[in-house]
Amino acid sequence: MARHNTSSDSGGFLFKTGLFALLAGVAFWVFNQFGGKKTPELPSSVPTTEIPQGNQNGPASGTPNPTKVPDNILPHSTTGVVVRHEYFALSYHEDHEQAEWVAYELTRERLNQNWAARPNTFRPDPAVRTESATPRDYSGSGYDRGHLVPAADMAFDAAAIDATFLMSNISPQVRTFNGGVWRELEECTRDWARKFKRLYVVTGPVLTQKPLGAIGFSKVTVPASYYRVLYAPEAHKAIGFVMPNALSTRPVMDYAVSIDEVELITGLDFFPKLLGGLNEELEGSLDKDAWPVSRQRYEKRVNEWNKQQ
């Protein structure tokens, strides 16, 4: 009768089991690093509150509201997922893995403060319960990680500018659009905030149009266009913009439209608590002369910014 080497068999089994566990662990790590989503801990410096549908005027029960964003500037959320950071709020659209709108207040006082350093710390937004897109979704895509709330608009505070690099505030933009006409519109917006003292800003991707495609493991929608609506409460003036996600040599004001037109294109309702009733006619008006632009900046964009790759 042959003898059974039970000790050797047991050792071999344990070795194979350990090796399998090691390989499985490595595979899981690679998946998380290069394909899957992560859910990091919420940094204490970036307070947030997620508001479910039907309770957009304040935080969830028992949760303190750290936001400095006025409630009355928020559009209606079509998804019911409103995330409030300290200096801006957003409505996250899980189907497109980006915000359908971001809303914030832009003031002359904040813009005149010393600017904090730009951190470039792109990372998932842990306040989005369904998980936001990740920086890796954009890697090798050919698209920029385009800010919806510009970093420069929040540069008055280190924590505020850092929050603009959360991926819930990012959308895939053509590079010559992001660094071209969209950049010019952002700089114009800061000029107008200085001129009017205060602006309420709502901006985002146009998700009702056929997209240019999708990128990354998360299938982030690449919008065909972007919009921005502005309301200057002290001056009682409003304007909207809709811009294709593409290189442009046209003046910024070629893209100016009434807020009513932006609402028709996006299906969103902007400033419903501010521009209703007697103020509703402002949504349908368009006075381009009230919003001056720099000819020198336009020429710089066409001759320099558009050619940067």
* pLDDT tens digits, one per residue of 148-202: 999 999 999 999 999 999 999 999 999 999 999 999 999 999 999 999 999 999 9
Quick one: pLDDT at residue 290?
A: 97
176 against 25, higher pLDDT: 176
- Given the residues 85, 93, 96, 147, select the one marked as catalytic: 147
Q: What is the CA radius of gyration of the chain?
A: 23
Q: What is the mean pLDDT of the segment spanning 204-213?
A: 98
Verify whether residue 147 is a known catalytic residue: yes
pLDDT of residue 16 exceeding 60, the answer is: no
Q: Are 154 and 164 in contact (CB under 8 A)?
A: yes
Quick one: pLDDT at residue 124?
A: 97
Quick one: pLDDT at residue 61?
A: 32
Quick one: pLDDT at residue 165?
A: 98
Q: Are 244 and 211 in contact (CB under 8 A)?
A: no
Burial class (CB in 10 A: 0-12, 13-18, 19+), 100: buried
Q: What is the mean pLDDT of the segment spanning 266-283?
A: 89
How far apart are the C-alpha atoms of 3 and 68, rounded to whole Å?
78
Main-chain phi, psi angles of 229, to 5 degrees? -125, 140
The encoded tokens of residue 38 equal: 């992560």
Span of 249-258, 259-268, 272-281 with lowest mean pLDDT: 272-281
Per-residue pLDDT band for 277 (boundaries 50, 70, 90) equals confident
Q: What is the mean pLDDT of the segment spanning 278-287?
A: 88
Q: Which residues contact 31 (CB under 8 A, 6 or more apart)?
A: none
Q: Are 77 and 52 in contact (CB under 8 A)?
A: no
Burial class (CB in 10 A: 0-12, 13-18, 19+), 168: buried
The encoded tokens of residue 276 equal: 């209703």
How far apart are the C-alpha atoms of 173 and 171, rounded to whole Å?
6
